Amino acid sequence: MASFSFSIFFMSTLLFLLGVVSAQLSSNFYASSCPAALSTIQGAGCDASVLLDDNPSFKGEKTAGPNAESVRGFEVIDSIKSTLESKCPGVVSCADILAVAARDSVVAVGYPSLSYYYVDIDHWVAIWNVQLGRRDATTASSDAAESDLPSPFSDLSILLSAFANKGFTAKETVVVSGVFDNTYFRNLVDKKGLFHSDQQLFNGGSTDSQLTTYSLNSAKFFTDFGSAMIKMGKLSPLTESKGEIRTNCRKTNGS
């Protein structure tokens, strides 16, 4: 579960960095059209362009450099989609499945830490209240993923610029870099960053102060993280008549 959870969370982060159309979303979008949607996704653990396999029409995002060997968990998304198609055919998008799975997987794996800091599951879900109503992209672009997503070898200026291009502040860039709790930040303070790009957040630069705050204050991290993920989830989704609701997350309808 830990491997899957990290992968889904990372996928969603990448997806939301690649949005294209602004629109309104709602946390109760499926309340009448598919009431079982959220519980179905939770039971298993953006525009979903990252889910599309390569085909003769395009080379997709799965094998792009920043995603290679990092984006996994596709089979779990397939299973969730199959179940939802049997309950509510053609209703729940793959993009919304990813968005909810990102939140629920963080809750599932991070819950021991959350409870330790007196943050219960219901409170965490309320902090990160996923907005729904996305539709799925009908194409994907390896080139876009390569150009828009910073690599694990990026310096701080590149990281901040990539997120700033999507409307994120330096503070928000720091907070969405952590996954389940503030251990990530404590490791960086101890100079134990896994990737070069991680350690750049605490390396004598402009983000040192914010990172130190999160390393010392878990409650502040949880609150800011939830707010940043809600913002990320609202970045330029496909809605209304744009895109489609895929029946198979790995390919566009009719392909």
| DSSP conformation letters of 243-255 | SB--SSTTS-TT-
What's the token pair of residue 218? Answer: 């878990």
Dihedrals φ, ψ of 26, to 5°? -145, 140
Q: Do 151 and 195 form a contact (C-beta atoms < 8 A)? A: no
Dihedrals φ, ψ of 178, to 5°? -75, 155
Helix (H, G, I), strand (E, B) or coil at 200: coil
What's the token pair of residue 186? Answer: 């404590």
Is 150 annotated for ligand binding?
yes
Is 43 annotated for ligand binding?
no
CB-side neighbour CA atoms (13 Å) of 164: 7
Is 104 annotated for ligand binding?
no
Is 47 annotated for ligand binding?
yes
- Listed in sequence order, the residues at least 6 apart from 237 whose beta carbon sits closer than 8 Å to its beta carbon are 19, 21, 23, 25, 46, 47, 95, 133, 134, 135
φ/ψ region of 126 (left if φ > 0, alpha if ψ in -120 to 50, else beta) reads: alpha
Helices (H), the chain: 2-16, 37-44, 74-87, 94-116, 121-127, 142-148, 156-164, 170-177, 183-189, 196-199, 208-216, 218-233
- Residues within the annotated binding site? 45, 47, 49, 61, 150, 181
- Residues within the annotated binding site for Ca(2+)? 45, 47, 49, 61, 181
- Residues within the annotated binding site for substrate? 150
